[in-house]
Amino acid sequence: MRQIISILIISVFMTSCATVVTRKSYTMNVNTNAKNAKVEILDNTYQLPATVKVERSKNNLDIKLITDITTFDYTVKSSINPAFLFGNLLFMQVSPAAYLIDLTSQKRFYYGKSVFLNISDSIKVIRPPISKSFHNYFSKTYPTDKDELYLHLSFPHINSFYFKPENEKTKINTGFWGLAVGFDYFYSANKFVNFGVSGVMDFFIPFPAAVDFSGERESMSSIYTSLSNNHKLGRFSIGYGLSFAKNAWNLVYHDRFDPPPPTRDPVTKSHNAFGLIFPTYFQSGKYFNVGIIYRPTFYRQNITDKFSYEHLISMDFAWKIRIKK
């Protein structure tokens, strides 16, 4: 009895949402603005308007519209089934492995609930609502012109540090919070230079909060300026340039809540560093951009061990506002 119950439980958790609520085939309504028309779908002919039974598949669906005068060839793009896209968002929290089942099942596709064949439209490729939304989103561009100037305001919110303070072990940590301001000047339609000033830290909480620290605590921060040349490729931009930074590592002691005694005296060590910068962004809206900034440094100005690799990697949320056209 226990084995049967176990099998039932495993079966439930290994059956995903789309597998449960959808079938291999479904009915789709087909209509047109052509008079006395019929369609040919998968070697079957239907007088319009019609309700057609179709099987879910990753392959596109070809439809031939036949009128008294001529024929039209349409292609309905296969799209992700809404049950797979939205239903599994909650279900995978309970059983993530079940999500993989739908990735191998034809049930995750569909062609939409209805198809309208408009003979007045020159476009003969039809996309279901979800596919159309994604297609329009990623195909949309935000063109720029020569001599445009943008104000660049951003939050390098997630910051990964790799520092080597003088006479200390290598320090590695990832934390939150930062602020940056700069300007983008387009010297051609798809190329621009960026000058920016940024300050970042490794605070351990991603949202504003009052925190009482106790005992020893290490922290890292960096203030830097950068100048980069960038290429705009559709909604992506990729850049490369130079940076000058002041990197700092701090060890502090907070005598609250009866902490253990400090292992050493508090200390702050900082140094200036020269290096490169490689910003990459994706423009997700008219103003908003999401990017990754890789900033390696190689030469340290004011300490004994001058040549040493360090880096900062930041996930940046940026707003670019045009101030000159």
- What domains appear along the chain, each with residue ranges and CATH number? 2-139 (no CATH), 149-324 (2.40.160.20)
What's the confidence (pLDDT) of residue 213?
81
What's the confidence (pLDDT) of residue 56?
87
Containing 267, the helix (H) or strand (E) segment is strand 267-283
203 within 8 A of 179, measured Cβ to Cβ? no
Q: How far apart are CA 132 and CA 141, in angstroms?
A: 16
Maximum alpha-carbon separation in the chain: 93
pLDDT tens for each residue of 78-87: 887 766 655 5
Choose from 9-18, 48-57, 270-279 the range with maximum mean pLDDT.
270-279
User: Is 147 a residue whose pLDDT tops 80?
Assistant: yes
Residue with the bigger pLDDT between 6 and 86: it is 86
242 within 8 A of 212, measured Cβ to Cβ? no
For residue 11, what pLDDT band results from cuts at 50, 70 and 90? Answer: very low
Which tokens belong to 107? 């049930």
79 within 8 A of 108, measured Cβ to Cβ? no
For residue 102, what pLDDT band results from cuts at 50, 70 and 90? Answer: low
148 within 8 A of 322, measured Cβ to Cβ? yes
Q: How far apart are CA 105 and CA 95, in angstroms?
A: 17
Mean pLDDT over residues 92-98, rounded?
46
Residue linked to tokens 């005296």: 265
Q: How far apart are CA 275 and CA 162, in angstroms?
A: 14
User: Is 130 a residue whose pLDDT tops 70?
Assistant: yes
